[in-house]
Amino acid sequence: MRKLDSFPPGYHSVNPYLVIGNVLEFIKFSELVFNAVVIKRIKEEKGMYAEIRIGDTCIMMEENHKISHLNSLSLWVYVRDVDATYDKALKAGCKSIQAPTYKYKVDKVAKVADQFGIIWLLATFNANF
């Protein structure tokens, strides 16, 4: 039996998630202005995924030049059951961007867009996946 945590240590229930054109430049800016600390950088097919910490807050970011929701507001939300939450979001009128899938060996993640223009990244954390 796997232990299911609400969210990993060092994160919050809701975390800012940016989709921007140049992750490395944003990291440099954040280090210079806010003394940000890089938590992780992962090279991906479409660009880069990275996380920085400013104070007690983790900011997640995705570099992508071709995505339709570039520069929109995105929030990463840790939930107990990503599949159930994804289904609720679709029933509430959200548009699916990505069905629940495993990412980074610790999260199961889905993406939906709501009617207010917000992209929600719904995630269930379990370090034992």
Residue 21 lies in a domain: yes
CATH number for the domain harbouring residue 75: 3.10.180.10
- Torsion angle, alpha carbons of 47, 41, 112, 83, to 10: 130
- For residue 2, the model assigns a pLDDT of 45
Under 8 Å CB-to-CB from 23, ≥6 apart: which residues?
Answer: 41, 47, 48, 49, 50, 61, 62, 63
Q: Quick one: CA dihedral 55, 57, 63, 64, positive or negative?
A: negative
Per-residue pLDDT of the chain (129 residues; tens, 9 = 90+): 344 557 788 888 899 988 888 889 889 989 997 789 999 999 987 789 999 998 889 999 988 766 655 557 888 898 889 999 999 999 999 999 999 999 877 889 999 998 878 889 999 988 555
Predicted local distance difference test score (pLDDT) of residue 6: 75
> Would you state the pLDDT for residue 82?
94
88 falls within a domain: yes
pTM for the full model?
0.67
The candidate with the shortest Cα–Cα distance to 50, out of 63, 69, 64, is: 63
Tokens of 45: 């097919």
Examine residue 7 and state whether it is found in any structural domain, yes or no. no
> Structural domain tally of the chain?
1
| Contact in structure between 36 and 54 (CB atoms under 8 Å) | yes
pLDDT attached to residue 8: 84
